[in-house]
Structure 1
Amino acid sequence: MVFEKYFEDYTLHAVRQTGGRTITETDIVLHAGQTGDFYPHHMDAEWCRTQPFQQRIAHGTLVFSIAVGMTAGEINPRAISYGYDRLRFVRPVFIGDTLRATVSIQELRGDAKRPNHGMVVEHCEVINQKGETVLVCDHLLLVEKKKPA
């Protein structure tokens, strides 16, 4: 879905939520192949049974990638992703866990380098089916202003 939203159109503390996404073994295997991360924590079920979590865990980068995909359902030609800050993998994610994300506008500020744009900081929290937080991060969006400075 494409929509145009200028910096002035964003509302501080506005919240949106995603639908759910269940993590599968295929997700983990594909991510391992794409990244080269074949650590036993993700790939070796027998070894994992001897470890504290006793089962394979999803790559943190996989969970982050899925969260980005879940929260990026709308295309805004007036904004561009400037990156992510404060990324934390809070809890492990296992095969069969269903994740949802909540995004809230945490901050709206000017951009000293680009006076015709503003910075929108979206706080993203990913939770599992138990309501436990598994990942948090801040997404920085550089957004065009309606009225040039």
Structure 2
Amino acid sequence: MIVEQYFEDYVIGDGRETFGRTITETDFIVHAGHSGDFFPHHMDKEWCATQEIGQRIAHGTLIFSVGIGLTASTINPHAMSYGYDRMRFIRPVHIGDTIRTKTRISEKRDHPKKAEFGFVHEAVEILNQRDEPVLVCDHLYLVRRKNPS
């Protein structure tokens, strides 16, 4: 879906929430293959059983990519991702956990050099099935102004 939203249209406090997605063993395997991260915490069920956590832990980058991917439901031709800041892995995610993503516009600010753009910050919280945060970060957007000054 295309949603045309200029810098002026964003409202601090506005948010959205995605549907959930269950993380599977296949997700672990495919992500390990893509990333090259075959660390035993993610891949070795028997070894993990001997550790305090007791089971495999999802790659943080897997949870980030799936959680952010869940938010990719609209295209705004006036905005582009400028990156992510302050990412933290709060809790482990295991095979069979279901995650969903909540976002909230937390800040707007002028671009220091280009009057036709502004920055919009979106606070991102990825939650598990128990409503516990598992990952948080800030998503920065570069957004065109409707009326540059």
Q: How many residues align?
A: 149
Structure 2 counterpart of 1:104: 104
Structure 2 counterpart of 1:40: 40
The 4+ residue runs of structure 1 with deviation greater than 6 A are none
Structure 2 counterpart of 1:135: 135
TM-score between both structures, scaled by the size of structure 1: 0.98
1:4-43 matches, cutoff 5 A: 4-43=4-43
The answer to whether the Cα contact below 8 Å between 2:68 and 2:101 also exists between their aligned partners in 1 is no
C-alpha distance in structure 1 between counterparts of 2:3 and 2:76, whole Å = 5
1:57-108 per-residue CA deviation (whole Å, 9 max, x = no partner) reads 1000000001110112111010000000000000000000000111000001
Is 1:88 aligned with 2:88?
yes
* Gapped regions of structure 1 (runs ≥ 5): none
Partner SS state of residue 62, structure 1: helix
Amino acid at match of 2:37: D
C-alpha distance in structure 2 between counterparts of 1:148 and 1:14, whole Å = 23
C-alpha distance in structure 2 between counterparts of 1:145 and 1:48, whole Å = 51
Identity percentage of aligned residues? 59
Is 1:118 aligned with 2:118?
yes
Partner SS state of residue 123, structure 1: strand
Amino acid at match of 2:114: R
1:23-63 per-residue CA deviation (whole Å, 9 max, x = no partner) reads 00000100000010000001000000011110001000000
Amino acid at match of 1:26: T
Deviation of 1:3 after TM superposition, in Å, equals 1.4
RMSD: 0.6
TM-score between both structures, scaled by the size of structure 2: 0.98
Partner SS state of residue 136, structure 2: strand
